[in-house]
Structure 1
């Protein structure tokens, strides 16, 4: 057996036996895996051991640093304070779209390196690619130039940004180790720290449509994320936000862009506006711009002008018509009463089955597919009234989407008490 294989075995055995990995072990195994010296099956065994036995705060911070060091750190070199936002993913979560131009309009620079959707949660890049001409991949020079000129950029990560994370993420996805909190936290934070922003606001989703279903699990993840930020000298604020019902009324790609544009023009659903403004306030506070008034800026429509410049800078036409689905089908209310529940996970799965999402990373998405929530919890409805509108270019997907919605809608005599959108706030500073 080679010395490298022996070393990998030592690291695996250490964590398998519930012991703490040393900094040297972590640096070596992450670097060796990135170079191809440690095999996928060995890293899979280690990931499973980490899932079962965990890592403490020091181990997780060192693991994060090793993943950052597997590539390059971006040097943004802009005159404005830089601040980013990351969401752990939800249903109808289009907040990045209005948030980035809003915060830029208020004086900060927002370098938002985003991802694609997988399963029932949508991806920001998939949404933006429904805009004709818009491109996700930019060079570092293009990112810097757009930040300087527009103040905001939403694009795909560059290839040399935390390559260890890209490789490990794909492995975790097929080995049942996605749920490990230390590996989730280090995956998120390695990319965000390498991205080079001065501060970070995290939107940690809680509920049926979120990755973390319980408040306890979401708090553990938020604490891990904030802890890594503190260890790396990054100012981090984490908000726990509700994801038991879809955010806004649009779930999909083009339909979410349309809703985001409504928000940027001073309208849009109240929950999307509330969360956009709340996250903007946190970002501007971390950026040293607490006097800015994002609510007033958003209501004025000024952020829409920044949005148009941001889209044009990446080859898109903000005035071009968005894709429209060839087939629609309405889901009606079964009874009179108040819509008491609209389960976020079920709606997300329905949109995914209609073609808005993907099952594998290489799958295409339908930009026009999705679900419109014509009624939201707390609203009074009558029997036969349209509750949901399903949109797709593939009518044969509708039965599977309807099956996903079975049991997702509850109509009652009275509205249940509504809880807050923001459940808690954690800070590293």
Structure 2
């Protein structure tokens, strides 16, 4: 019988009482949990102790390394400089879709291993799977070949990457420890570093539709993420971006793909274009291509051409019609005035209830389900004007979504003058702050 060097209860007690965990304790507990020696109930207790007591930068970096070492690391080879991007999740956040082909069209390679949605936040793979024929599962050889030939790949992560994180992520979701900054940061970075990211740009969302509701929380997460990157020799930049209001007009799956294609064709909502270009500039700077102007490349149509090649390489037809919903319900304004609020969380939950998201991992999603927000903060609306389009294959779901949309929207009936109009606009822009090497 093999003797373990530590007892789980001693590690739990140490963190419960506010002590720093040693590197050896961290390495052991992650490895033992992956092997099944440490049980779910013990790791749940340790996760709660970390949630309450925290971990310092050194502990968090070591925890991240232990999760990376629980599986394999991809060694993606490409003649172009590679750079990755990760978003902490939001509502209407389809940025990966136009961003990956845009950065590839600028000369870099983007290996974007993405996930699926859960709850009110959408998943990139769910969105792309609304394209007829497109497939998410690729082998390492296929990923490498597509990176070289196209410059961009968006696909599912292999199950051998950071398996400890996969187990711990599921446990945190049912033990009220999701919001622990050290655990969020190590979860994100362990997967990205295991994927072979040598350069990484992070989109840290802040607001009602994000995990981080306040700037203080988002700053703490951004600082932890870039510190982990530095500790593991990964050039890392983080942008704090607004998620109080949904990005763009479309929230769902096929509707977000359609909006992303609008951006790639030179149109699309201003906030989606703004964030796409801001993240592209950060990625190109890290890749040593800072002299390339992504706005000019986007306007040239080369990014759309790269999108079509990327979709075809994964079996999809970029020209095929996207799924249409069986039922569309329009919500009209009951009063005139200026829109002063559109809560991202409520919109995200409404789309989820219409079938665009899932309550549990593995649940099916409706490709055509979602919400179109036809009025955004700062815009004047008139009584009877359409405010929302609800798309679903299950008309009975509309009744559950309507109260959320009513709660999400705020209209100021007295907002006819310029001052009220200005108050309703998000005049600060989508990008709020920038972090690099742990400092703004």
Q: TM-score band, normalised by the shorter chain? A: over 0.9
Q: What CA deviation, in whole Å up to 9, does each residue of 1:37-68 have, x standing for no partner? A: 11111111111111110000000000000000
Q: 1:300 deviation in Å?
A: 1.7
- 2:42 corresponds in structure 1 to 42
Q: What CA deviation, in whole Å up to 9, does each residue of 1:343-381 have, x standing for no partner? A: 111111100000000000011000000000111111111
- 2:279 corresponds in structure 1 to 279
Aligned equivalents of 1:378, 1:299: Cα separation in 2: 27
Aligned equivalents of 2:70, 2:142: Cα separation in 1: 23
Aligned equivalents of 2:233, 2:21: Cα separation in 1: 22
Q: What CA deviation, in whole Å up to 9, does each residue of 1:372-419 have, x standing for no partner? A: 011111111100100110010000100110122232111111321532
- 2:245 corresponds in structure 1 to 245
Aligned equivalents of 1:407, 1:123: Cα separation in 2: 24
- 1:421 corresponds in structure 2 to 430
- 1:13 corresponds in structure 2 to 13
In the TM superposition, 1:139-178 aligns within 5 A as 139-178=139-178
Q: 1:420 deviation in Å?
A: 2.1
Aligned equivalents of 1:5, 1:137: Cα separation in 2: 39
Aligned equivalents of 1:29, 1:180: Cα separation in 2: 18
Would the aligned equivalents of 2:6 and 2:28 in 1 still touch at CA under 8 Å?
no
Counterpart of 1:407 in 2: which secondary structure?
A: helix
- 1:131 corresponds in structure 2 to 131
- 1:410 corresponds in structure 2 to 410
Aligned equivalents of 1:146, 1:185: Cα separation in 2: 29
In the TM superposition, 1:151-230 aligns within 5 A as 151-230=151-230
Which stretches of structure 1, 4 residues or more, deviate above 6 A after TM superposition?
Answer: none
Aligned equivalents of 1:142, 1:163: Cα separation in 2: 21
- 2:88 corresponds in structure 1 to 88
Would the aligned equivalents of 1:333 and 1:381 in 2 still touch at CA under 8 Å?
yes
Would the aligned equivalents of 1:82 and 1:111 in 2 still touch at CA under 8 Å?
yes
Would the aligned equivalents of 1:5 and 1:38 in 2 still touch at CA under 8 Å?
no
Aligned equivalents of 1:66, 1:299: Cα separation in 2: 44
Counterpart of 1:406 in 2: which secondary structure?
A: helix
Counterpart of 2:267 in 1: which secondary structure?
A: coil
Q: 1:5 deviation in Å?
A: 9.9
Q: 1:4 deviation in Å?
A: 4.3
Extract unaligned runs of 5+ from structure 1. none
Q: What CA deviation, in whole Å up to 9, does each residue of 1:187-234 have, x standing for no partner? A: 000001111122000000011111111000001000000110011111
- 1:77 corresponds in structure 2 to 77
In structure 2, the CA distance between the partners of 1:387 and 1:5, relative to structure 1 (3 Å rule), is farther
Q: What CA deviation, in whole Å up to 9, does each residue of 1:206-265 have, x standing for no partner? A: 111111110000010000001100111111000000111110010000000000001001
Would the aligned equivalents of 1:373 and 1:387 in 2 still touch at CA under 8 Å?
yes
Give the total of aligned pairs: 429
Q: TM-score, normalised by structure 2?
A: 0.96
Aligned equivalents of 1:58, 1:390: Cα separation in 2: 47
Aligned equivalents of 1:408, 1:259: Cα separation in 2: 21
- 2:232 corresponds in structure 1 to 232
Q: What CA deviation, in whole Å up to 9, does each residue of 1:49-88 have, x standing for no partner? A: 1111000000000000000000111101111111000000
Q: 1:3 deviation in Å?
A: 5.1
Counterpart of 1:405 in 2: which secondary structure?
A: helix
- 1:27 corresponds in structure 2 to 27
- 2:323 corresponds in structure 1 to 323
In structure 2, the CA distance between the partners of 1:112 and 1:205, relative to structure 1 (3 Å rule), is same
Extract unaligned runs of 5+ from structure 2. none
Q: CA RMSD in A?
A: 1.3
Would the aligned equivalents of 1:83 and 1:199 in 2 still touch at CA under 8 Å?
yes
Aligned equivalents of 2:241, 2:208: Cα separation in 1: 12
Aligned equivalents of 2:208, 2:2: Cα separation in 1: 46
